[in-house]
Amino acid sequence: MTLVTGPGHDDTGHDRTEGPASGLLAGRSVALVHEWFGSTGGSEKVFLSIGDAIAHAERFVLWKDGDAHEESAMRESWLARTPLKASKALALPFMPVAWRTLSRKDYDVVISSSHAFAHTVKLGSSERTRYLSYVHSPARYVWSPHFDGRGANPALGLPRKALQAADVRLSRHVHSYAANSREVQARIRRYWKRDAHVVNPPVDVEFYAGAPAGDREQPRDYLLGVGRWIPYKNFDLMIEIAAASGLPLVIAGKGPEEAALRRLAAKVDVPVRFEVRPSDERLRELYWGARALLFPTHEDFGIIPVEAQACGTPVIGIDSGGLKETVVHGETGFLVDSLDPGQFVPAVRGVAKLDRARVQAGAAAFSQDAFVANLSRWVTDATG
């Protein structure tokens, strides 16, 4: 392997820092890698939190999307300089090569933040370098097309099999996995035949719980839906639930389904208000004003329901995925085993009986501090 020398490196190819690093993995060279970095969503927030916990690490991404506002130093792969950046689907076959050609340096520890193929990254020999991977999910469109329509086309059956085989073969060097939930832990065991620790993602519980008095004193007179406006999030179902319950609905977020959702909203007998790209402060205000958060979708973990609970807002969702870990049925919300709008009506009525202080207290287990503590235990155990 050719070593990089010059400013910031010594003649062995290792980093030459201004002083000794402190904290997690102090004194060891570390690379953090993530898939493409877009407008800050759940996986991006986890990557940034890992970077905060290991501040001296170098950060790599395939590319940064145009709507990414993160200003911290991130090195992009060569894919960022090609037209493939505009199409994740077309870029897929080239990602394994990109993950093997990010840098010519050796590192003591490489930690990937993976929801596609970042866990296949290799920056040095597996004998010298410890490889750890924090997994948001094995690529849904490769392994779980029933959750993600991008891989559900029958014509993609053979390519999907090839990608599955490559995914397993190219990740054999990973020494330790962490999963963002028990749901993903089970999926890693099923698809990759590997064990994984569970390290739940960080949620800024303190920010959402510490709302101004004006936010806290709202009448809580509407239902709320939050997230990307894409089909599998089931915002159309949220509109139908609100109509069946006879309550106003606020939909906060953005996405390609906006026009279709507005057309559907115009047909129901309850008010539906759209909040496009609300700020964090505005979103916190919306959480505090809601009677309940509607979240009738299968997510691997789901940060949004925890944010809502940090505001004392119960969650009404489906009885599957990460909600089974973050919502205590009958105490911090209700989980419904159905996608029939009418089946959610009793839950909407039942939230009035819940103790909002109990709802809020349940979110503390998913705080930033809890994440750092769990992450540190995993990294320390995995790296000796």
- 63-86 pLDDT, tens digit each: 988 765 655 689 999 999 999 988
Residues facing residue 60 across a β-bridge? 33, 75
Q: Which residues of 14-42 are buried (b: 16+ CB within 10 A; e: fewer)?
A: bbeeeeebeebbeebbbbbbbbbbbeeeb
Higher-scoring residue by pLDDT: 14, 218: 218
CA angle (317, 319, 325) in 5-degree steps = 90
Classify the C-alpha dihedral 340-341-346-351 as positive or negative: positive
Higher-scoring residue by pLDDT: 153, 25: 25
Average pLDDT in the chain: 89
Residue 221, judged by CB atoms within 10 A of its CB (0-12, 13-18, 19+), counts as exposed
Q: Residue 149 has what pLDDT?
A: 54
The pLDDT tens digits of the residues spanning 312-368 come to 999 999 999 999 999 999 999 999 999 999 999 999 999 999 999 999 999 999 999
Q: Residue 148 has what pLDDT?
A: 55
Q: Residue 310 has what pLDDT?
A: 98
- 153 and 131 Cβ atoms separated by less than 8 Å: no
Q: Residue 1 has what pLDDT?
A: 29
Give the tokens for residue 299: 């997510």
The pLDDT tens digits of the residues spanning 196-209 come to 999 999 999 999 99
Distance CA 295, CA 238 (A): 8
The pLDDT tens digits of the residues spanning 125-179 come to 777 899 999 999 998 878 887 665 555 555 566 778 888 999 999 999 999 999 9
- 59 and 85 Cβ atoms separated by less than 8 Å: no
- Tallying the residues shown for the chain, one arrives at 384
For the chain, the straight-line distance linking the first and the last C-alpha, in angstroms and rounded, comes to: 25
Q: Is the pTM of this model over 0.95?
A: no
Q: Residue 4 has what pLDDT?
A: 33
| Crossing angle for the helix pair 42-53 and 368-383, to the nearest 10 degrees | 60
The pLDDT tens digits of the residues spanning 236-288 come to 999 999 999 999 999 999 999 999 999 999 999 999 999 999 999 999 999 99
Q: Residue 40 has what pLDDT?
A: 63
CA angle (232, 288, 348) in 5-degree steps = 55
The backbone torsions φ and ψ at residue 131, rounded to the nearest 5 degrees and listed phi first, read: -105, 120
Q: How many CB atoms lie within 10 A of CB 367?
A: 19
How would you classify the pairing of strands 290-295 and 272-276? unpaired
Higher-scoring residue by pLDDT: 226, 70: 226
- 30 and 50 Cβ atoms separated by less than 8 Å: no
Q: Residue 32 has what pLDDT?
A: 97
